[in-house]
Amino acid sequence: MYRNSFSTRPKSSRKFLLVLFTTAALIASACSGAEDAALVDSPDTPTAPAGESSVPENLAFADAGQTLRVSVPTLNYAAPHELVETDGAQVLLIDLLTDGLTKRDTSDGSIVPAVAESYETSTDELTWTFQLGDAVFSDGTPIVADDVVTSLGRVAAQGSASLSGPSLWPISGWLEAGESGEIFVPGLVAIDEDTVEMTLTEPFAPLAEVLAGVAFGITPAGASTIGTFDGELPLGSGTDYVPTEIWADGLRLSGNGVDTGITTIEVLVDPGHTSFRAGETDVAPFYDPADSLDGLTGVQIQQSANAYFAMNAAIEPFDDPMVRQAIVHAIDAEELRSRFFPDAVLMRSFIPELIPGGVSDACGSACDFDPEQAETLIQASQNDGTPVTIDYIEREDGGDDQAIAEAVAEMLNNVGLDAVARARTEDGFPLRLLEGNLGLFRFGSVSTAMSPEAMIGLPFHSAGVDNFTSTSIERVDDFIDEARRTTDAEARADLYSNAEAVLFAEAVVAPLVEFNHFVVFGDRLSAVGLEPDGSLNLSQFEFVQTDRVPLDGE
């Protein structure tokens, strides 16, 4: 039997999951349809207390371009380490309220200090030192090194429950903290009140880039939440906007010297978009299909979330590259999209286009539906008739898993492969996945760590902690290894992009769909900005110039 450069990795390297098998199901249920995707408050989620009045009656639009009003389905002040990364409104709120050591400059995508005043690396690039300077929480309390160490330790302790958290795997002891559930990470040390030191197991140039993710926002060491829910203001670490007023169903944030032209942001609870449709707010996350927005103006961008069929290249017949390529060409992804993911778009890349290194169609012709080419590849392959198994989770509450698997099996049978859908129990699926016994299975990823490392390095490096495809492609490893050593951000992005191109050429996955963030905006705005993680890019907001509307009493 023909073998290419793929190999089975030791099972010991599979101890820690970056993205659980449930991620694909989570993405499918949270993003694929308007009804399923509606952001509703969990019964266990605390909410702001009801007061004597709702939004003050004199809360009117001030000068155009100064006050931005945002509709959200609920004021969910989850702490960053508990972030639900498929909840766009929660991402938006946490991004407004907190910052990490670094942040992404939305004007050009570069990484700049945030809570940290500065940072530097040692000569061997194994030690990173962050100076905090004059950073404070929104109540004026200084942010000290212990706050940073504890905040990041909480993320580490979440293990695979934090989808972005494992992106910090090179920090010494990070993965072990995830396994034990302890917040202590040996590689995170408070040298003094103003200095945080991180010790890495290997050089990792994307560290500052990863730390800019929403999940790594800083909260006080003595409080694991940013919301008090007793009428007091949420406690944030955001450097651009600071919470200054709270009422029963709203929150006001004031600019902290940020140069966006927006001096005030008012976040209002508006679960049914009633206030937005009445013209009382400017912008709102929206989850209805784009063709049913009733004339509303909107913008959508590629989200850093996708779904695909992964192939375990360590077992037959997936160890034959021609069979893998045939499978990709045999699957009519557009048919599956229209049937099961009507509000998604076809997946054509791992790295969102708005992230450095991302391109709109990294897949190219390698992902085209072409059954004739599939048949040709099968005939030229070394496949001896070994069945293609398509594993899916058999759910008591229904779901589309079985229907999708059976549809794919029919497509593969149509081009001459012996394909069969194989049910797995929900409890048994992750074990089979870890053991490397699954063949073709629906998978996916989502992350608010807007770095190609999270989308390419972790899932597809041969030693990656989330390498469920069992890939071991020398060129991919070389590109990723060089990227992790490359301090120039543009050159590093190009290296990850090169690795992405090889992965698609080698047919490591059969792409299905990627999901979009979508927001609608009102008449006061002529343009809005949105980031792949769901946060607002305020530097891209443009207001229609109108006469000033006086506030009541003026």
- Count of domains observed in the chain: 2
Last residue of a domain, one of 258, 293, 319: 258
pLDDT cut 90: percent of the chain above it: 51
- For residue 271, being part of any structural domain is answered with no
The verdict on 246 and 327 lying in the same domain is no
Of the candidates 464, 159, 515, which has an alpha carbon nearest to the alpha carbon of residue 337? Answer: 515
* CA pair distance 87, 294, nearest whole angstrom: 24
Calpha distance 236→138 (Å, rounded): 5
Query: Does residue 546 form part of some domain?
Result: no
C-beta neighbour count of 554 within 10 angstroms? 8
Q: Considering the domain boundaries, does residue 242 fall inside one?
A: yes
Q: Token match 């045999």: residue? A: 330
User: pLDDT digits over 370-385, tens only?
Assistant: 999 999 999 999 888 8
Residues 90 and 144 in one domain: yes
Mark whether 481 and 339 lie in a shared domain.
Answer: yes
Q: Is the pLDDT of residue 399 over 90?
A: no
Q: How confident is the model at residue 430 (pLDDT cuts 50, 70, 90)?
A: confident
179 and 309 both lie in a single domain: no
Structural domain that includes position 191: 74-258
Query: What is the arithmetic mean of pLDDT over 146-151?
Result: 97
Pair (307, 418) in one structural domain = yes
**Strand pairing category for 388-394 and 440-446:** parallel
Tell me the angle at which helices 321-330 and 371-380 cross, rounded to the nearest 10 degrees: 160
Mean pLDDT computed over every residue of the chain = 83
Q: How far apart are CA 349 and CA 362, in angstroms?
A: 5
Q: Specify whether the CB–CB gap between 360 and 351 falls below 8 A.
A: no
* Domain finish residue from 258, 293, 318: 258
If one counts every other C-beta atom within 10 angstroms of the C-beta of residue 11, the result is 10
Residues 206, 335, single domain; the answer is no
- Contact by Cβ (8 Å): 500, 366: no
Per-residue pLDDT tens for 55-83?
444 444 444 458 999 999 888 778 899 98
Judge contact between 74 and 190, C-beta under 8 A.
Answer: no
CATH code: domain of residue 369: 3.10.105.10
- pTM for this structure? 0.85
pLDDT over 50 at 363, yes or no: yes
Strands 195-199 and 345-346: unpaired
What 8-state DSSP symbol labels residue 510? E
Q: What is the CATH number of the domain that holds 209?
A: 3.90.76.10
Mean pLDDT of 171-196: 96
Q: How confident is the model at residue 114 (pLDDT cuts 50, 70, 90)?
A: very high
Residues 494 and 351 in one domain: yes
Question: Element (H or E) spanning 514, and its range?
Answer: strand 509-521
Check whether residue 309 and residue 248 sit in a common domain. Answer: no
Q: For 235-246, what is the mean pLDDT?
A: 91
Does 421 reside within a domain? yes
- Among the three residues 226, 258, 290, which one is the final residue of a domain in this structure? 258
- The answer to the question of residue 475 being in a domain is yes
Beta carbons of 333 and 23 less than 8 angstroms apart: no
Residue 12 falls inside a structural domain: no
Same domain, 253 and 311: no
Are 248 and 105 within one domain? yes
Alpha carbon distance 309, 337 (integer Å): 13
Residues 27, 141 within the same domain: no
Listing DSSP states for 133-192 in one string gives TT-B-TTSPBP-HHHHHHHHHHHHHTGGGSSSGGGGTTBTTHHHHHHHT-S--TTEEEEE
Q: How far apart are CA 462 and CA 149, in angstroms?
A: 30
The full DSSP string for 417-448 is --EEEEEEETTHHHHHHHHT---EEEEEEE-S
501 domain residue, yes or no: yes
Let me know whether 121 and 190 are in one domain. Answer: yes
Is the pLDDT at 228 greater than 60, yes or no? no
Residue 289 has pLDDT above 60, yes or no: no
Bigger pLDDT: 1 or 236? 236
Q: Is residue 102 part of a domain?
A: yes
